[in-house]
Structure 1
């Protein structure tokens, strides 16, 4: 939370209870929730919070580099509290999103840069398939 408060102050953004609550719900969440799920988690404790406030807070956090947005396509976005670039694996049936260890791909960026003769400035690596639960049905 210190990082959030410091970053908001440094960027002259308001520190509101709603923003703090959105970040608090997301910061330790490994499920990569969407905005609607975050809203539903907050609604009992913050009955006046709106879905628009949740979306605006998440957009601000992404712009400030505090979180990562995962685009699942067709306007479906999930939010990752880890802003560092890292690969994900996504279930095409239940839309579960999980982190993959960067260790598996540590040489990939330099290999691609070498092959393509590009200076890589960022990357987004996702794998798609069926999670164990969906695969067993």
Structure 2
């Protein structure tokens, strides 16, 4: 939380209990929740928080490079507490999103760049399948 406060101060952003709570919930959640899910998690302890505040906080955190907003083709963005670009795997049944270890894909950007003679500046790698929980049902 100290790092968050420092970044917010450096960018002259307000430090509010609601912003701190949004960041805390996201940092302690590996499910890549959307704004509505974060709102529902916060609402019991912050009854005056609005969904707009959650959205604005998440947008600010992404803009400051503290988190990553990921578009997985759903109706809303998911938010990842890891701001570094990394691959994901998504369950096609329950929509669970999980991080994949980056070291297996380290050379992929260079391979693609060489293959197509591009200067690759950005990548987004996502795999889809059925998670073990859904596979047993």
Shorter-normalised TM range:
over 0.9
CA deviation string 1:29-82 (max 9, x = no partner): 111111111111111111000011001100111111100112121422111100
Number of residue pairs the alignment of both structures matches: 137
Q: How big is the shift at 1:10?
A: 1.3
Aligned equivalent of 2:16: 16
- Please give the alpha-carbon distance, in whole angstroms, between the structure 1 residues aligned to 2:97 and 2:30: 9
Q: Give the TM-score, by structure 2 length.
A: 0.95
Aligned equivalent of 1:66: 66
Matches within 5 A, 1:73-88: 73-88=73-88
Secondary structure, in 3 states, of the residue corresponding to 1:128? strand
- Please give the alpha-carbon distance, in whole angstroms, between the structure 2 residues aligned to 1:134 and 1:71: 22
Are 2:35 and 1:35 equivalent residues in the alignment?
yes
Aligned equivalent of 2:130: 130
Are 2:97 and 1:97 equivalent residues in the alignment?
yes
Secondary structure, in 3 states, of the residue corresponding to 1:98? strand
Aligned equivalent of 1:2: 2
Structure 1: 5+ residue stretches without partners: none
Note the aligned Cα RMSD (angstroms): 1.0
> 4+ residue stretches of structure 1 with deviation over 2 A?
none
Q: Give the TM-score, by structure 1 length.
A: 0.95
Q: How big is the shift at 1:117?
A: 1.5
Q: How big is the shift at 1:103?
A: 1.2
